[in-house]
């Protein structure tokens, strides 16, 4: 990280406006841009999800439309461009799956060697498949995300590998553009709330920074409130936010959730995230495995779909409206962070009533839509469809 900062020309001690201009202009030459055409993701109104969430209206900013299917691409274009600018040959990340998929694609596209570290057996197959296909050297470590990150932070320095986790400031700069796009799509009308899932908390840090800078630039006149939703089994930031003192985050040593993307117990960006939540007058909520699974099926029925972590947003909105924190008539945008096809195994299990939480408890298939097996006979198929 420090290497990146020194190598960039971005002055760290001047006004936010200046910093913003510097941040987007960090490349000396636009030939250095590394892009797979990320961004410009749609803002999709979802009346069915709004009703489920206790709102009059709700729109999803769907990051699953990005080239590798998650919001990570918005940051990776910047992070990998900076890696190339520094002249490094190898880049690495620790990931719950999406960062590694994105980094593998962007690094390979830029001619760099991607090395990824993932928790063995704990990322969805869709994401692992992407990393393999995009040519990443893939190391499955027998530890959880937090333990591997601590390990790799030491290793990267020793081996001279450029680290592309969300502690990398260039990735955060790139992820800010999700908010710029959103405001542009809304004609610079600020929503009351922006709701997003929280894992390592890089994204909420990026959103908060981007929003504050847009306000400083006069592009928007106020800040929306940011609501971060965590999975109940991996909710250290929720615990911190609700604690009497917010000085120190107590890590969750064994984070547990089927939403593997946010299965993180010791989020590195918590101080920045806490600053953005408090500055925006936002909040933090947590949701159960059942709530995530049901909300996900509802988003699916809107014809939109997403991966489990993303669905925490709608589950959180439902809780926050029920508690009176978000008003029914509030103008709310939820960010769907990843594509439905990232984790098809979870979906199949939910709809066939075989999804189980990590403690072995069964998740009810409340909005299940199981496939039906039919014989290859026209009459019998017709009879099934007329039932
Ligand atoms: N949603 C999805 C789909 C994610 O992949 C992640 C993070 C998050 C939400 C949480 O974002 O960490 O910025 O708070 N995935 C990381 C990864 C950790 O390695 O792919 P965050």
**pLDDT above 90 (res 332):** yes
**pLDDT above 70 (res 202):** yes
Ligand 1 touching residue 93 (CB < 6 A): no
Which residues have a Cβ under 8 Å from the Cβ of 7 and sit 6 or more positions away? 82, 85, 86
Ligand 1 touching residue 130 (CB < 6 A): no
Ligand 1 touching residue 177 (CB < 6 A): no
Tell me which H or E stretch contains 94.
Answer: strand 90-94
Express each pLDDT in 150-163 by its tens digit: 999 888 888 889 99
**pLDDT above 90 (res 252):** yes
Q: Ligand 1 centroid to 203 CA: how many Å?
A: 8
Ligand 1 touching residue 102 (CB < 6 A): no
Note the pLDDT of residue 30. Answer: 85
Q: Which atom of ligand 1 is nearest to the CA of 95?
A: 19
Ligand 1 touching residue 266 (CB < 6 A): no
**pLDDT above 50 (res 8):** no
Mean pLDDT, the chain, rounded, equals: 93
User: What does the block give as tokens for 180?
Assistant: 């710029």
Percent over 90 (pLDDT), the chain: 88
Distance CA 345, CA 307 (A): 11
Ligand 1 touching residue 310 (CB < 6 A): yes
**pLDDT greater at residue 28 or residue 322:** 322
**pLDDT above 60 (res 371):** yes
Distance CA 67, CA 40 (A): 11
User: What does the block give as tokens for 245?
Assistant: 């003192």
Distance CA 290, CA 310 (A): 14
Q: Ligand 1 centroid to 200 CA: how many Å?
A: 7
Express each pLDDT in 315-324 by its tens digit: 999 999 999 9
Ligand 1 touching residue 69 (CB < 6 A): no
Ligand 1 touching residue 165 (CB < 6 A): no
* Residues 292 and 310 sit within 8 Å (Cβ to Cβ): no
Over residues 320-343, the mean pLDDT reads 98
Distance CA 205, CA 54 (A): 27
Place 27 in a pLDDT band, splitting at 50, 70 and 90: confident
Judged by average pLDDT, the poorest of 18-22, 53-57, 198-202 is 18-22
Q: Ligand 1 centroid to 62 CA: how many Å?
A: 14
Q: Ligand 1 centroid to 368 CA: how many Å?
A: 26
> Which of 40, 42, 11 has the alpha carbon at shortest distance from 25?
11
Ligand 1 touching residue 309 (CB < 6 A): yes
Q: Ligand 1 centroid to 387 CA: how many Å?
A: 43
Residue closest via CA to ligand 1's atom 7 equals: 261
Place of tokens 């990280």: 1
Between strands 113-119 and 137-141, the pairing is parallel
Place 25 in a pLDDT band, splitting at 50, 70 and 90: low
**pLDDT above 60 (res 1):** no
Place 29 in a pLDDT band, splitting at 50, 70 and 90: confident
Site to probe by mutation for ligand 1, drawn from 200, 237, 259, 295 as the one with most ligand atoms within 8 Å of Cβ, is: 200
> Which of 299, 265, 310 has the alpha carbon at shortest distance from 70?
310
Written as one string, the DSSP assignment of 328-383 is TT--EEEEE-B-GGG-HHHHHHHHTT--B-TTSPBPP-TT--------S-HHHHHH
Place 19 in a pLDDT band, splitting at 50, 70 and 90: very low
pTM exceeding the 0.85 threshold for the entire prediction: yes
Note the pLDDT of residue 22. Answer: 47
Q: Give the residues across from 195 on adjacent strands.
A: 227, 334
Q: Give the residues across from 141 on adjacent strands.
A: 119
Over residues 106-124, the mean pLDDT reads 95
């Amino acid at each position: 990280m420090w290497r990146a900062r020194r190598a960039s020309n971005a002055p760290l001690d001047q006004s936010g406006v200046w910093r913003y201009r510097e941040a987007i202009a960090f490349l000396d030459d636009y030939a250095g841009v590394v892009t797979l055409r990320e961004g410009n993701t749609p803002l999709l109104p979802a009346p069915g999800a709004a009703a489920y969430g206790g709102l009059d209206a709700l729109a999803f900013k769907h990051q699953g439309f990005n080239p590798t299917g998650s919001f990570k691409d918005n940051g990776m274009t910047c992070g990998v461009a900076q890696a190339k600018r520094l002249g490094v040959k190898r880049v690495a990340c620790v990931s719950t799956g999406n960062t590694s998929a994105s980094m593998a694609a962007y690094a390979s596209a830029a001619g760099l060697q991607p090395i990824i570290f993932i928790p063995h057996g704990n990322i969805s197959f869709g994401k692992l498949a992407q990393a393999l296909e995009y040519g990443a050297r893939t190391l499955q470590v027998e530890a959880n995300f937090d333990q591997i990150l601590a390990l790799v932070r030491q290793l990267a320095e020793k081996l001279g590998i450029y680290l592309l986790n969300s502690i990398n400031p260039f990735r955060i700069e790139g992820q800010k553009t999700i908010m710029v796009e959103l405001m542009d799509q809304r004609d610079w009308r600020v929503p009351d709330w922006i709701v997003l899932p929280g894992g390592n908390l890089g994204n909420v840090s990026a959103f908060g920074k981007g929003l504050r800078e847009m306000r400083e630039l006069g592009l928007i006149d106020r800040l929306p409130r940011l609501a971060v939703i965590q999975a109940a089994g991996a909710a250290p930031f929720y615990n911190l936010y609700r604690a009497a003192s917010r000085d120190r985050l107590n890590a969750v040593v064994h984070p547990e959730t089927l939403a593997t993307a946010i299965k993180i117990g010791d989020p590195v960006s918590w101080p920045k995230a806490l600053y953005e939540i408090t500055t925006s007058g936002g909040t933090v909520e947590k949701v159960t495995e059942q709530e995530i699974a049901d909300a996900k099926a509802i988003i699916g029925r809107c014809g939109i779909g997403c991966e489990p972590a993303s669905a925490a947003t709608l589950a959180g909105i439902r809780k926050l409206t029920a508690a009176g924190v978000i008003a029914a008539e509030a103008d709310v945008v939820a960010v769907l962070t990843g594509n439905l096809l990232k984790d098809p195994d979870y979906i199949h299990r939910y709809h066939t009533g075989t999804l189980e939480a990590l403690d072995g408890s069964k998740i009810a298939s409340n909005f299940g839509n199981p496939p039906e097996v039919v014989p290859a006979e026209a009459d019998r198929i017709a009879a099934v469809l007329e039932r």
